[in-house]
């Protein structure tokens, strides 16, 4: 029987996937056809067991509301979760996520979306003084853990994840991405090798406005998981990519680290490099490694990280997964393969391969691309 | 001669057409609108076969290739010439990571930069002498575990950091030639640096001339500086990693 909840007895999944991202620094919107075309060049990097997209800027009419995308196994799960949502949130609008039945995607869960905001007099206010974001995070964790047959796969504002089991180009048709417009897109083609492909296991993994697509294998998953659990993150999906999303939420939103610093926690410079730094910089990086040792990601990875202010693409510290970037005017493209970029941007202004562990950071408004660095202009 | 328009074509179909063409005796191929097709020219034979590639070829071009020449007029992606046995690959742009992995013969000439792990596990035996020449710079783990053959790093664009980190670690055979002196102190203790002598330059001339001709650059532009060479200090650097000497 078809199940959403991941009951598979596996600690993590190892993937050899494909990814890409497109961002317009001036927030000019494009529909989903380019990102579909780009990721379809990387078709053979996946095996049809997971494809997905994140788009930012797609819900301008509800930009102040949390857009929950939820998948359900059955209608009783839907009824249970909706009761929780009604008790705790004001629902501005709810509807099935528009889909187009294709012959390629024939078996899918109920897919529903809700534009909501937490009630100011919600029941838990008696005990906690949580901010809205924290309450949303708790609600996502609660639903994913305790409500059998339900999984929240998107919970940000003016953004959304669209994912499932299938090749990404078929998933794009299924969700009619050509009718959706956004100023930033990321995409993923999955090749799961340790856990079966299931709808919740497709990338991107999102929480609030954070989204991650990931190619690789986080061998530090166990340490990362135990560390995150101390901060009440619940890793219900048993995949390593989920851990990256929560680490970034913890570092950036809760601990208020600048994004560039948070990234150096994930892919910290080796101690032999830190030893050669001088003064304050050395002190800073030593402190980061000491405090956040359990948030360091080990193992091969390339990730594209989307957030409400921009996009980051990054490799592991010794470049065990491919990553290429290109710039054309206000557009920045990243992908696992140069051909995926050339498919939608045949002659970019520049094309380069980012160095190991040094992130490509693009922010909206003022274009800010660090080709070298990542290591802060301290 | 045959021209194949590869726009939207899957690599399986493309490689079938190339193999059929070679089978029929075609010597010259022009592949147009290539974008991302994997495995171009893998395992093919025929010393007089030349394949011209326009566009960005996918990963693993020329793997196990045994004789033909591939000319890429743009950048190429990862894993070029994996375990290649004979023939020539000319890249007129940049190359991705892991160029010439386990290569055992033939030549790879790159005009621009190459990525991480160039020439890793490259090997030579008797008359089998694989050669890689890179015009620009390279990433880290260059020539890691190199066991044989020749790699020449020209650094023609004169950028300051052209040799990455973990240079030649575990190298135990073959020779690396450099057109520029590097700060040797930061590198592997498995290797030794010398100035290239007259014999080295006579040996290199054949390859450097072919390289220069491939990209229409004057030979003097390449050869005008003193070269350095790096050779392993031991054929078995890890012989006593786990045991006492």
Query: What is the tens place of the pLDDT at every residue in A34-92?
Result: 999 999 999 999 988 899 999 999 999 999 999 999 999 999 999 999 999 999 999 99
A-chain CB neighbours of B78 within 8 Å are 322, 337
Q: In what order do the strands lie in the sheet with A89-96?
A: A89-96, A110-118, A66-72, A150-154
Q: What letters, b where the CB count within 10 A reaches 16 and e where it falls short, cover A179-192?
A: ebbbbbbbbbbbbb
Helices (H) and strands (E) in chain A, counts: 10, 18
DSSP B22: H
- How far B168 CA lies from chain A's nearest CA (Å)? 15
Using alpha carbons only, give the angle A323, A325, A329 rounded to the nearest 5 degrees. Answer: 170
Instruction: Enumerate the residues of chain B whose CB falls inside 8 A of the CB of residue A322.
Output: 77-78, 96-97
Q: List the single best residue of A338, A341, A358 to mutate versus B (max B Cβ within 10 A).
A: A338
Residue whose tokens read 């290797």: B191
Q: 3-state class of B186 per DSSP?
A: helix
Residues contacting A181, CB < 8 A, separation 6+: A29, A30, A31, A57, A58
> Mean pLDDT of successive 10-residue segments in chain A (378 residues)?
47 66 96 97 92 97 97 96 97 97 88 96 85 95 94 97 96 97 96 78 94 92 95 85 94 95 93 92 95 94 96 95 96 98 97 94 69 40
CB contact under 8 A, B115 and A44: no
Residue of chain B whose Cα is closest to the Cα of A321 = B97
Q: Which of A44, A215, A275, A302 to mutate to test the interface with B (most CBs of B within 10 A)?
A: A44
Distances (CA, A) of A202 to A2, A46, A104, A321, B12: 15, 11, 16, 19, 27
* Residue B69 to residues A289, B60, B213, Cα–Cα distance (Å): 49, 15, 14
Please check whether residue B129 is in contact with residue B109, taking contact to mean a CB–CB distance below 8 angstroms.
no
Is residue B245 scored above 80 in pLDDT? Answer: no
Q: pLDDT, tens digit, for every residue of B87-125?
A: 999 999 999 999 999 999 999 999 999 999 999 999 999
Q: Decide if B55 and A342 are in contact by the 8 Å CB cutoff.
A: yes
Give alpha helix (H) positions in chain A.
33-41, 75-88, 132-146, 168-174, 221-230, 240-248, 259-266, 271-274, 279-291, 338-342
Question: Is B77–A342 a contact, with Cβ atoms under 8 angstroms apart?
Answer: no
Helix ranges (DSSP H) in B52-120 = none
CA distance B89 to B102: 15
Interface test with chain A among B56, B73, B113, B139, by most A beta carbons within 10 Å: B56
User: Which residue, A13, A242, A66, is CA-closest to A145?
Assistant: A242
CB atoms within 10 A of CB A255: 15
For B9, name the nearest residue in chain A, comparing CA atoms only: A41
Q: What confidence score (pLDDT) does residue B91 get?
A: 98
Between chain A and chain B, how many beta carbons pairs sit less than 8 Å apart? 50
Mean pLDDT of B10-32: 97
Q: Which residue has the tokens 């780009």?
A: A38
Cα distance from A45 to chain B (closest Cα, Å)?
11
d(CA B210, CA A303): 40
B205's enclosing H/E stretch is helix B198-214
What pLDDT is attached to residue A185? 98
Q: Do A342 and B96 touch (CB under 8 A)?
A: no
- The HSE-up count of residue A330 (CA atoms within 13 Å, CB side) is 13
Please name the residue of chain A whose CA is at the shortest distance from the CA of residue B141. Answer: A318
Which member of A343, A351, A356 has the closest CB to residue B35? Answer: A343
Interface predicted TM-score of the whole assembly (ipTM), two decimals: 0.93
User: A315 to chain B: which residues are within 8 Å by CB?
Assistant: none
Query: Closest residue of A to B35, CA-based?
Result: A339
Q: How far is A307 from chain B (nearest CA, A)?
A: 29
The interface residues of chain A toward chain B in range 339-358, judged by CB-CB distance below 8 A, are: 339-340, 342-343, 351, 353, 355-356
Task: Map tokens 């800073």 to a residue.
Answer: A284
The answer to whether A217 faces chain B, any CB pair under 8 Å, is: no
Chain B nearest C-alpha distance from A341 (Å)? 10
Provide the pairing of β-strand B50-56 with B28-35. parallel
Domain B128-237 carries which CATH code? 2.160.20.60
Mean pLDDT of chain B: 93
CB nearest to B75's CB, from A319, A343, A351: A351
* Shortest Cα distance, chain A CAs vs residue B55, angstroms: 9
Cα three-residue angle B126-B132-B134, rounded to 5 degrees: 160
Instruction: Compute the C-alpha angle A112/A30/A214, nearest 5°.
Output: 65
**Touching check for A34 and chain B: CB below 8 Å?**
no
Q: Do B140 and A340 touch (CB under 8 A)?
A: no
Distance from B206 to chain A by nearest Cα, in Å?
A: 32
Q: What is the pLDDT of residue A194?
A: 64
Say whether B77 and A353 touch across the interface (CB within 8 A). Answer: no
Cα separation, B178 vs B142, whole angstroms: 12
pTM: 0.92
When CB atoms are compared, the residue of B35, B56, B115 closest to A353 is: B115
Nearest CB partner across the interface for B78, out of A41, A322, A343: A322
Cβ–Cβ below 8 Å for B97 and A342: no
Q: What is the mean pLDDT of residues B191-214?
A: 95
Cα distance between residue A143 and residue A213, in whole Å:
22
Q: Are A339 and B78 an interchain contact pair (Cβ–Cβ within 8 Å)?
A: no
Give the tokens for residue B36. 């991302």
Instruction: Give the catalytic positions of A in this structure.
Output: 17
């Amino acid at each position: 029987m078809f199940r959403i909840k991941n009951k598979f007895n596996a600690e993590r999944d190892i993937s050899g996937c494909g990814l890409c991202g497109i961002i317009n620094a001036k927030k000019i919107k494009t529909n989903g056809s380019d990102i579909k075309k780009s990721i379809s060049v990387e078709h053979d990097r996946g095996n049809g067991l997971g494809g997905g997209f994140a788009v930012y800027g797609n819900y301008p009419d509800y930009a102040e509301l949390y857009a929950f995308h939820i998948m359900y196994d059955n209608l009783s799960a839907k009824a249970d979760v909706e009761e929780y949502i009604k008790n705790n949130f004001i629902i501005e609008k709810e509807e099935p996520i528009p889909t187009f039945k294709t012959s390629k995607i024939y078996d899918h869960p109920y897919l529903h979306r809700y534009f909501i905001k937490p009630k100011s007099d919600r029941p838990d206010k008696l005990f906690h003084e949580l901010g809205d974001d924290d309450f949303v995070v708790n609600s996502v964790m609660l639903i994913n853990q305790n409500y059998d047959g339900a999984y929240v796969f998107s919970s940000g504002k003016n953004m959304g994840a669209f994912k499932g089991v299938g090749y990404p180009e078929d998933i794009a048709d299924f969700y009619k991405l050509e009718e959706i417009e956004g100023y930033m897109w990321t995409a993923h083609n999955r090749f799961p090798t340790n856990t079966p492909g299931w709808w919740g296991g497709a990338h991107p993994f999102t929480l609030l406005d954070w989204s991650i697509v990931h190619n690789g294998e986080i061998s530090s998953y166990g340490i990362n998981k135990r560390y995150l659990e101390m901060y009440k993150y619940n890793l219900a999906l048993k995949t390593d990519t989920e851990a990256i999303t929560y680490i970034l939420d913890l570092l950036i939103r809760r601990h208020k680290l600048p994004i560039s610093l948070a990234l150096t926690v994930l892919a910290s410079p080796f101690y032999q490099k830190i030893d050669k730094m001088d003064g304050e910089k050395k002190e800073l990086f030593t402190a980061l490694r000491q405090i956040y040792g359990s948030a360091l990601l080990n193992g091969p990875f390339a990730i594209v990280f989307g957030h409400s202010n921009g996009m980051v693409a990054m490799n592991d510290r010794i470049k065990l997964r491919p990553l290429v970037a290109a710039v054309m005017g206000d557009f920045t493209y990243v992908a696992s393969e140069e051909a995926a970029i050339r498919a939608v941007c045949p002659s970019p202004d520049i094309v380069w391969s980012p160095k190991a562990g040094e992130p490509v950071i693009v922010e909206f408004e003022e274009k800010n691309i660090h080709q070298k660095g990542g290591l802060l202009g301290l | 001669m045959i021209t194949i328009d590869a726009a939207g074509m899957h690599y399986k179909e493309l490689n079938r057409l190339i193999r059929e063409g070679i089978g029929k005796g075609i010597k010259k191929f022009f592949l147009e609108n290539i974008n991302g097709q994997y495995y171009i020219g893998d395992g093919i034979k025929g010393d007089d076969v030349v394949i011209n590639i326009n566009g960005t070829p996918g990963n693993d071009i020329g793997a196990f290739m045994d004789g033909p020449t591939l000319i890429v007029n743009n950048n190429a992606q990862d894993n070029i010439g994996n375990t290649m046995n004979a023939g020539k690959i000319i890249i007129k742009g940049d190359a991705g990571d892991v160029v010439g992995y386990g290569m055992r013969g033939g030549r790879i000439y790159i005009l621009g930069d190459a990525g991480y792990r160039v020439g890793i596990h490259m090997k030579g035996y008797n008359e089998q002498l694989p050669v890689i020449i890179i015009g620009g710079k390279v990433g880290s783990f260059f020539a890691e575990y190199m066991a044989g053959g020749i790699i020449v790093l020209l650094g023609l664009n004169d950028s300051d950091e052209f040799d990455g980190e973990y240079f030649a670690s575990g190298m135990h055979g073959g020779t690396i030639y450099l057109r520029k002196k590097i700060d040797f102190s930061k590198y592997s203790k498995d290797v030794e640096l010398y100035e290239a002598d007259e014999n080295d330059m006579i040996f290199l001339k054949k390859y450097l001339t072919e390289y220069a001709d491939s990209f229409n650059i004057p030979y003097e532009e390449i050869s005008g500086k003193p070269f350095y060479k790096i050779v392993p200090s031991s054929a078995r650097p890890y012989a006593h990693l786990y045991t006492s000497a």
